[in-house]
């Protein structure tokens, strides 16, 4: 296969998966989102990615058909957005409800780590949207940055992959792992615990891709969501 086409296809798959992971945490599920999830996980059936990813994808697929939309919404608000969720999951100290989109490490509330994220964005030529309501350093914001860096790979040079590795190792993967640990302590977390584990398993793949690129290795394009529309 032509190298340029292969790279383009790989970017498309990665952007779809990053968008999927973000969709779990940016807003509460609705009928449209549930239908989309069911379609995506039906397409993922039989995909061979990693044992951890495949295991969580299989469980999520089952839960999406076993749970009604009302039950998924109830879990979202109880675990991630309501008073119980705010106390157990989110770490931001601000007025009003704290949602999963706002979830971030306590140390990312301090100036030094935020400076690191801002410096990384500046190196990539990225700027924060002044109208953005998602806090800097939050899970959803970091996933947005990661997606923007993947899109930048169409340009010449290795700098997007190098910045991706820094973002993953320094901020995004540690935050996702902390979310898993927090949800493991919440007896009401079921679907969203599996979603957080899927996120971690995928980010580990991204970390592997960044490492392989630095070492001159290759990462095979997984057969993931072959017929799904692009969600870039």
For the domain that residue 124 is a member of, what is the CATH number?
1.10.3480.10
User: Looking at the domain assignment, is residue 226 inside a domain?
Assistant: no
Structural domain span for residue 7: 3-215
CB 40 within 8 A of CB 20: yes
In a domain, residue 222? The reply is no
Taking a C-beta distance cutoff of 8 angstroms, is the pair 12, 230 a contact? Answer: yes
The pLDDT confidence band at residue 110, using thresholds 50, 70 and 90, is very low
Residue 229 counted as domain residue: no
Residue 227 belongs to some domain of the structure: no
User: CA-to-CA distance for 188 and 78, rounded, in angstroms?
Assistant: 8
Residue 125 resides in a domain: yes
In total, how many domains does the chain have? 1
Neighbours of 212 (CB within 10 A): 13
96 belongs to a structural domain: yes
Distance CA 218, CA 214 (A): 10
Asked whether residue 221 is assigned to any structural domain, the reply reads no
Residue 22 lies in a domain: yes
Cα separation, 16 vs 57, whole angstroms: 15
Per-residue pLDDT, 227: 43
For the segment 130-181, what is each residue's pLDDT rounded down to a tens digit?
777 677 778 888 999 999 999 888 665 677 888 999 999 999 999 999 999 9
Total-model pTM = 0.81
- Whose CA is closest to 163, among 116, 198, 201? 116
């Amino acid at each position: 296969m032509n190298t340029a086409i292969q790279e383009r296809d790989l970017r498309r798959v990665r952007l779809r998966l990053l968008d999927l992971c973000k969709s779990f945490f940016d807003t509460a599920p609705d009928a449209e989102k549930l239908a989309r999830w069911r379609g995506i996980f039906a397409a993922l059936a039989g995909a061979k990615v990693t044992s951890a990813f495949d295991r969580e994808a299989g469980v999520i697929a089952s839960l999406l058909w076993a749970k009604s939309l009302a039950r998924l919404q109830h879990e979202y608000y109880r675990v991630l957005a309501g008073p119980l969720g705010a106390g157990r999951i989110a770490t931001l100290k601000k007025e009003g409800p704290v949602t999963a989109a706002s979830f971030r490490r306590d140390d990312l509330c301090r100036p030094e780590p935020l400076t690191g994220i801002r410096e990384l964005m500046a190196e990539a030529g990225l700027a924060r949207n002044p109208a953005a309501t998602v806090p800097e350093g939050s899970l959803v914001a970091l996933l947005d940055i990661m997606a923007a860096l993947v899109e930048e790979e169409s340009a010449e040079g290795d700098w997007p992959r190098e910045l991706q590795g820094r973002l993953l190792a320094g901020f995004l993967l540690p935050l996702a792992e902390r979310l898993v640990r927090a949800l493991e302590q919440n007896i009401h977390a079921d679907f969203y615990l599996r979603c957080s584990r899927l996120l971690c398993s995928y980010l580990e793949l991204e970390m592997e891709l960044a490492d392989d690129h630095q070492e001159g290795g290759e990462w095979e394009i997984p057969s993931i969501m072959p017929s799904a529309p692009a969600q870039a």
